[in-house]
Amino acid sequence: MSSPAVDFATQNHPRFLNELKDLLRIPSISTLPEHKDDCRRAAEFLASELKRIGMENVRLIDTSGHPLVYGDWLHAGGKPTVLIYGHYDVQPTDPIDEWLSPPFEPAERNGNIYARGAVDDKGQVWMQVKALEALLASNKSLPLNVRVIFEGEEEVGGEGIAEYVASKPANLKSDFALVSDTELFAPGLPTLCVGLRGMIYTELEVRGAKTDLHSGMYGGAAPNPFTAIAQIIARLKDDNGHILIPGFYDDIIPPSSEELAAWKSLPFDEEHYRISEVGSRQLVGEDGYSVLERTWARPTLDVHGIPGGFIGAGAKTVIPAKAVAKVSMRLVPGMTPAKAFAQYKSYVEKIAPAGVDVEVRLIHSGDPCLIPVNNKYIQAATHALHEVWGKDTVFIRSGGSIPIVGDFDRHLGLPSVMMGFGLPDDNIHAPNEKFSLQNFELGIRSLIRFLEEAGR
Ligand code: BES
Ligand code: MN
Ligand code: MN
């Protein structure tokens, strides 16, 4: 049940939490160029802690973007090797006015720690580091061989780590991966995530006139790129949420009947989800599919922003010369980013209204993934989780994406164990992101026990 490492973690919990707060104070927003140095600082913070706890060969690995953090400990002869993954980069903080406490000044309230990155993913990365510290401190060794790789570009597509994994697979040679960047299906319910959606993130640029025009002088004769972009967007999906791109659904591999049956028995209350998580008048989406199927096993298309034109206070009568829309699609098993993008691009070019030019750009992409569950690592995980949480593990998918997980399988041949401890209402990517302090503590315990079991 317990172990010296678990006891070490319990005794040192207040210090672990204070250290996490220091990490959370670094505004490592990967998408904003002005935070480039902060991303490196977060990487250095992790590297110096990995060194301090006794990991070896610790270093930053430079990429085309933000650095990777690597460390290893490979002295458990005859034992398997785990590749531990997480990301230190975070999402932007807007809308900043809606935060009850500043995003980079971690605050404890009602059993949670609030900060950008609290659960996605600094808090979970810190659980991994603290599990390793507890094991090393209490045993002077680890129960299995460990490689650690943290990235700082997950939230922007993970290009740097993808290049590294594809070009230097031998440097990460392992037997399985441990990914802590997902959530429990419900509070107190031990959960392993076994599937993620992939994605393509695109920009649509529509150009009309050669320059901005007076809408009185030219309105009626000159094309309006905002109207055109609205027409294009309106033709991407029908009223039922079905995507109209020809061939888009052709290659989908649907979930097995066993998986669908398992999803039906999960404790899911659609009204609670609608009211407490979404907070909308009604839910939308494809008829004939449950909410879990819609978000886990069906592709979707969303518009994230339409920057450009006149957005100041008051009124300006202008026909802007160009409009841009940021549009992404989530992909499910069977689909590939390259094919989905080609289908989308040629459809958009076809439906663009007369008088405008459109350019369709791919910003980043990632493959969907499905994880095999018939292996000893998943068994070790469910065993450890049962000890710590007193319940059987549920297997879920997630609608989110972690682009590198598919590459771990394709380039390194690794099955991943996606053991994360967020909660559905943790507000990731939104104001007031939080992490349950109880989950932080039980998460560390779960990771310790999992690594011990995986090395038995
Ligand atoms: N940790 C999330 C993915 C996630 C969310 C997994 C919820 C399980 C439950 C990750 O940090 C994330 O937000 N990924 C981005 C990736 C994208 C920018 C390529 C996403 O899903 O939008
Ligand atoms: Mn994440
Ligand atoms: Mn995220």
**Residues 95-102: contacts with CB under 8 Å, at least 24 apart:** 95/431, 96/431, 98/431, 98/432, 99/431, 99/432, 100/432
Per-residue pLDDT of the chain (456 residues; tens, 9 = 90+): 689 999 999 999 999 999 999 999 999 999 999 999 999 999 999 999 999 999 999 999 999 999 999 999 999 999 999 999 999 999 999 999 999 999 999 999 999 999 999 999 999 999 999 999 999 999 999 999 999 999 999 999 999 999 999 999 999 999 999 999 999 999 999 999 999 999 999 999 999 999 999 999 999 999 999 999 999 999 999 999 999 999 999 999 999 999 999 999 999 999 999 999 999 999 999 999 999 999 999 999 999 999 999 999 999 999 999 999 999 999 999 999 999 999 999 999 999 999 999 999 999 999 999 998 999 999 999 999 999 999 999 999 999 999 999 999 999 999 999 999 999 999 999 999 999 999 999 999 999 999 999 999
Task: Kindly give the number of the ligand 1 atom that is closest to the alpha carbon of 400.
Answer: 21
Q: What is the pLDDT of residue 18?
A: 98
Residues in the chain: 456
Q: Is the peptide bond before 95 cis (omega within 30 degrees of 0)?
A: yes
Tell me, what DSSP letter sits at residue 90? B
CA of 402 to the centre of ligand 1 (A): 5
Model pLDDT, residue 189: 98
Contacts of residue 451, Cβ cutoff 8 Å, sequence gap at least 6: 82, 131, 132, 135, 142, 143, 144, 146, 178
| Per-residue pLDDT, 2 | 85
> Is any atom of ligand 1 closer than 6 Å to the C-beta of 155?
yes
Q: What integer pLDDT is reported at residue 1 of this predicted model?
A: 62
Rounded distance from Cα 115 to ligand 1 centre (Å):
17
Helix (H, G, I), strand (E, B) or coil at 431: coil
Burial (CB count within 10 angstroms: exposed 0-12, middle 13-18, buried 19+), residue 220: exposed
Cβ 369 under 6 angstroms from ligand 1: no
Identify whether 89 is a catalytic site residue.
Answer: yes
**Residue 123: partners with Cβ closer than 8 Å, 6 or more residues away:** 20, 24, 113, 117, 435, 440
Task: Give the closest residue to 174 by CA, choosing from 150, 139, 144.
Answer: 144
By CB atoms closer than 10 A (0-12, 13-18, 19+), residue 184 is: buried
Q: How far are the Cα atoms of 113, 260, 296, 408 from residue 177, in angstroms, in the given order?
A: 27, 26, 22, 8
Delineate the domains of the chain, giving CATH numbers in brackets. Answer: 4-196+369-454 (3.40.630.10), 198-252+299-366 (3.30.70.360)
Distance, CA 240 to ligand 2 centroid (Å)?
30
Query: What's the CA gap between 449 and 4, in Å, rounded?
Result: 11
- For residue 201 the two structure tokens come to 């993130």
DSSP 30: T
Q: Which residues have a beta carbon within 5 Å of ligand 3, which is an ion?
A: 120
Complete edge-to-edge strand list for the sheet that includes strand 112-114: 107-109, 112-114, 434-436
Residue with tokens 């390793």, as numbered in its chain: 132
259 lines ligand 1 (CB under 6 A): no
Ligand 1, atom 13: closest residue by C-alpha: 155
pLDDT of res. 159 = 95
